[in-house]
Amino acid sequence: MATATRKKSLLITGATGSLGGELVARYYSEYRVFAHGRNADKLLRLKMRYPRIELVLGDLRAPGIRDAVRQANLVIHTAAQKYVNLAERHCFYTVDTNVNCTFELADLAARHGVEQFVFISTDKSSFPTNVYGITKYLAERLILELVEVYPQTKFVICRFGNIFGSNGSVVQLWLDATRRQQPIQVTDPEMTRFMFSLEEAVEAVHFAVTHGRSGDIIIPKMKSVSLRDLMQLFHNSRIEVIGRRPGEKVHETLYVQGEISTGYETEKYYVLNPHDTTRLHLRDLNSAECERVSVKTLRHWLEQLQRRAA
């Protein structure tokens, strides 16, 4: 009898998050998936939808992480402490989770011969002004240093803006407030953010997996939204303007001049790489100056989000 081809193994950290859960769905049939998360209830619900996944419960230093890494061909690291306001008040925890644990996981993966490590970063790492952004900037720098140390492992970074409707996002917070018949809290209506859909985020990760080179920083060509535009989706809700929180920018940057200036671009992505020989002539990518997501598209994304939640 012919021996069945053994599937490659994939560890997804933060698998109970919005992006992590969609990545489980994307790669479920292709890989043996290890799904990591800290919430047992959410992991069990994920297991009910995808019975063949193997669960890894705990923080990023849990014993199960080490066991999963030993068996993994690919690691996609989405887990993070991502809340800007919490990061300002819980600096030690945020640094430990986003910097120390990321480095330890990436180093462990390389030492165990993992073929590829994909790290999900944020636009807040570019010209950071808050604890969260600084931790992601440091994690990016550490990942790029590991490129030199472990040439046998491919390290790829995805630098994302906001994913529309992801867990803990402003859209989710406003939806929760609306359900409770409470006013939606707006920090600054003129604030802008880079934003794309969950489907586009999954597509970008897959581009990193299939096309990424070691040392690549992959930046999707995203449009931006203002809070004023998002407020149009909640025109029947009461609005309370509360002002910007500590560490928040009015506008975000995906890239600033003085960062890595070599790489290439496609129709959908900028791909930065310090080892590339081709110079990219990029200006600062600022959310105040780029094309805006239309309100029609925002409504479409909201409908998709509500269908997924139903």
CATH number at residue 117: 3.40.50.720
Average pLDDT on 111-130 reads: 96
Q: Is 120 exposed, middle or buried (0-12, 13-18, 19+ CB in 10 A)?
A: buried
Mean pLDDT of the chain: 95
d(CA 56, CA 75): 13
Predicted confidence (pLDDT) at residue 4 exceeds the cutoff of 70: no
Question: What is the predicted pLDDT for the residue at 5?
Answer: 55
By the 10 Å C-beta count (0-12 exposed, 13-18 middle, 19+ buried), 261 is classed as middle
Establish if 189 belongs to a structural domain.
Answer: yes
pTM of the model: 0.95
**Residue partners of 230: CB distance under 8 A and separation at least 6:** 170, 171, 174, 298
User: At 122, is the pLDDT very low, low, confident or very high (cuts 50, 70, 90)?
Assistant: very high
Number of domains in the chain: 1
The confidence score (pLDDT) of residue 256 equals 82
Collapsing DSSP to helix, strand or coil, 211 comes out as helix
Tell me what pLDDT residue 2 has. Answer: 42
Percent of the chain with pLDDT over 70: 98
Is 104 inside a domain boundary?
yes
Query: With bands split at pLDDT 50, 70 and 90, how would you rate the model's confidence at 65?
Result: very high
pLDDT band at 3 (very low <50, low <70, confident <90, very high): very low
Task: Name the nearest CA neighbour of 272 among 162, 151, 161, 140.
Answer: 140
Q: Is residue 199 situated within a structural domain?
A: yes
Q: Which amino acid is at 310?
A: A
Which residues constitute the domain of residue 277?
A: 80-309
Are 176 and 204 contacting, i.e. CB atoms less than 8 angstroms apart?
no
